[in-house]
Chain A
Amino acid sequence: MKILLVEDEVELSKSICLYLKEEGYVCEVATDYTTALQKTETYSYDCILLDISLPDGNGLSILTQLKQNNKLDGVIIISAKNSLDERVKGLQLGADDYLPKPFHLSELSARVEAIIRRKNYNGSSTLKFNELTIDTASKVAYNNQHPLDLTRKEYELLLYFIANKRKVLSKNAIAEHLWGDDMDLANNYDFIYTHIKNLRKKLLEKGSSDYLKSVYGMGYKFTDQ
């Protein structure tokens, strides 16, 4: 899976690439408009992460170019502006998603995974992790063909963990993924624990291995190692 990251902030691009590489993606970086345009015209990518404000141009024109050339690359706009106008404009121009900065790398990774899945299998694909299978079309998770009776939040949680397998996910990242920006967390993550506990219980009941590990008050990790 090949990803192009168009981002002028070097430190941010380093972090993103490192994280995505560990997830098994091939990550290329373009730090300016010209390079990005060259790369998108020459190669095809499964997903392009596009920053809008670049030193020598607007990321949106790369998007326009892509659509003109009928390229099928998935595009996620990562922007510092988080303005509604920009989001609407980006999505109208054919971007698949819009992620305002700052974001958690796990959130980005989950969205990249979702885009690639949608592009490659027309959205009807399944996601696998050892004996666990998630059918994203019907939104049902299975353990060796046995359907798991998960609530919506538990299902989303499982999907998020599998998209970020073997990674430590901070409680902040999990809370923001499940409840979004609207919730005033007030440093209170008790309710996350409840959902994690329930998910873990349901997985174990159906005979799955105990993949969900708590990482000393920091967060959680979904791992078979």
Chain B
Amino acid sequence: MLSAAFILLISSLSYYFIIRNILIQEIDKNLKVEEEEIMDYVAKNKILPNESYYKGQEIRFKKSNAIVKRHFESTVSPVASSQNNEPVRQLLFPVTVGGELYTAIVRKSQEEAEDLIRLIFFVTAVIFILLLLVIAFVNRFILFKLWQPFYNTLQQLTSFNVNDAHSMHLAGSNVDEFNELNTSVIKMADRVTNEFNSLKSFTENASHEMQTPLAVINSKLDLLIQHSNESQAEQLQAIYDSVRRLNKLNQTLLLLTKIDNRLYQMAEEINIKKLLEQKLQQLEDLIQSREITVTTHLENVRLQMNYDLADILLNNLLNNAIKHNIKGGTIECILTNDHLLFTNTGLANSFDDADIFERFQKGAHSDGTGLGLAVVKQICVASNFSISYKYEFNLHHIELYFNRM
């Protein structure tokens, strides 16, 4: 559009100058004819013709001392027909009559030429504007219509979700290139969906395959302890704990994959306060056994989110605050309409604070899976919450912002 305007500007400018030149040459030719007529008249009659003014053409004679060089010039001078100065084209040439030297001036008004140029310029300008409008129209409507199949495809690509069971619907077009594009896009989408599904079923199958041997080990342990003796008790307990941890790890990895794959889509209204109080009640024994004091300031907050995720989120946050606490420590829990803050006493981390939400990041003495807060983070991402962590004055702070619309 801009380049079109530029080209039009350049061409109209050169157009203007060319026309102007041609017109001036035309005037010059007339002036020359006049000059010849004057010379003929002088040669024939030996006197100067009368000074005259006729149809914008003027003839004057001036006595001069030196021979003036014959030349054309464009200048501005008052014209007899009007009081104003007008642009004129004039030819000056020497004439000798009876030994006297005169300068003859033949001038012709350029007014007509200027008028013509103005007219031409006006017409060009109108054409120019019309052309711009047409180009704009073509761009907006015809090109848009032409590219419609492309925009359709683009829109389908943007809204493409591998979780959607049904594949893309791309309308055919009469442009071969677009059809080719659509075919490729559909092929690619199918491939991605297939890969995604096989990955999903792989994760599920892997988890399934792991659960069965775990179940066997667990059941054998349950039988073993029926007839075990004291010396084996410690080993058996260690195996129990390891199996439990392995199971937890397996479940959590599966959960992370599910959140990543956005398999927890269904949202409902959750009363966070109620859920949190419920969780505190459930974990009461654990809290008491560690002699932890819990203080809460909970507002009645309702959030639109997936119930399972809300449950896991609060559970992990609370378990985290209990586990990484000190005996006789405190937990403070503040819930307001836009944020949730957990503050608990505890020792400093043995790792960089910035990495606290990384997977498998855990303290030197932690026997957890190292996935609890990674799950929290993942749930926050999935639910569009922001989360931050800091350690100050021997207190761990984990703060969640709900980012309500």
Contact = CB atoms under 8 A, between A and B. Distances in A.
A83 B211 CA distance: 13
B216 A183 contact: no
B45 to A, nearest CB: 121
A105 interface: yes
Interface residues of A, number: 47
A188 B286 contact: yes
Given A9-B215, A184-B322, A81 B208 contact: yes
A84 B308 contact: yes
Interface in B298-334: 308, 315, 319-320, 322-323
Contacts of B221: 170
Interface string B276-290: 000100110110111
A219 B219 contact: no
Determine the interface band of chain B, counting residues with CB < 8 A from chain A. 35 or more
B233 A216 contact: yes
A204 interface: no
B240 A15 contact: no
Interface stretch (B52-60, B172-180, B243-251, B342-350): B243-251
Contacts of A105: 219, 222-223
Interface centre among B228, B285, B319 (most CB of A within 10 A): B285
A7 B136 CA distance: 73
A19 interface: yes
B289 A191 contact: yes
A146 B359 CA distance: 54
A82 interface: yes
Interface in B228-246: 228, 230, 233-234, 236-237, 240-241, 243-244
Given A106-B222, A170-B240, A179-B285, A184 B216 contact: no
Contacts of A180: 282
Contacts of B279: 182
A185 B320 CA distance: 11
B215 A102 contact: yes
Which one of A11, A102, A182, A186 has the highest number of Cβ atoms from chain B below 10 Å of its Cβ? A102
Given A101-B212, A182-B282, A172 B367 contact: no
A80 B285 contact: no
B372 interface: yes
B237 A218 contact: yes
B370 interface: no
A216 B243 CA distance: 20
Contact of A9 (B212, B243, B308, B372): B212
Nearest to A15: B219
Interface in A83-140: 83-84, 100-106
Contacts of A182: 279, 282-283, 315, 319
A67 interface: no
B234 to A, nearest CB: 7
Contact of A185 (B208, B233, B244): B244
A24 interface: no
B211 A82 contact: yes
Contacts of B220: 11, 15
A190 B289 contact: yes
Contacts of B240: 170, 172
Nearest to A52: B208
Contacts of B209: 80
Nearest to B208: A80
A194 interface: yes
Contacts of A83: 204
Nearest to A101: B215
B221 to A, nearest CB: 7
B289 A168 contact: no
B223 A218 contact: no
B368 interface: yes
Contacts of B320: 184
B204 A81 contact: yes
Contacts of B367: 186-187
A122 to B, nearest CB: 30
Contacts of A153: 285
Contacts of A102: 211, 214-215, 217-219, 243, 247
A18 interface: yes
A188 B286 CA distance: 8
Contacts of A106: 222
* Residue of A83, A184, A191 with most partner-chain B CB within 10 A: A184
Contacts of B217: 102
Contacts of B226: 22, 167-168
A101 to B, nearest CB: 4
A119 B279 CA distance: 32
Given A19-B223, A184-B323, A188-B286, A103 B216 contact: no
A204 to B, nearest CB: 22
Give the top 9 A-B pairs by smallest Cβ distance, nearest first. A15-B219, A102-B215, A80-B211, A191-B289, A101-B215, A184-B319, A105-B222, A191-B285, A102-B218
Interface of B: 204, 207-209, 211-212, 214-223, 225-226, 228, 230, 233-234, 236-237, 240-241, 243-244, 247, 251, 279, 282-283, 285-286, 288-290, 308, 315, 319-320, 322-323, 367-368, 372
20 contacts: A11-B220, A12-B219, A18-B223, A81-B204, A101-B214, A104-B218, A168-B226, A168-B228, A170-B221, A170-B222, A183-B286, A184-B286, A184-B319, A184-B320, A187-B241, A215-B225, A215-B233, A217-B230, A217-B237, A218-B228
Given A102-B217, A183-B282, 16 more contacts: A9-B215, A11-B219, A15-B222, A16-B219, A53-B208, A82-B211, A101-B212, A102-B214, A104-B218, A167-B226, A168-B228, A172-B241, A179-B286, A187-B241, A191-B285, A217-B234
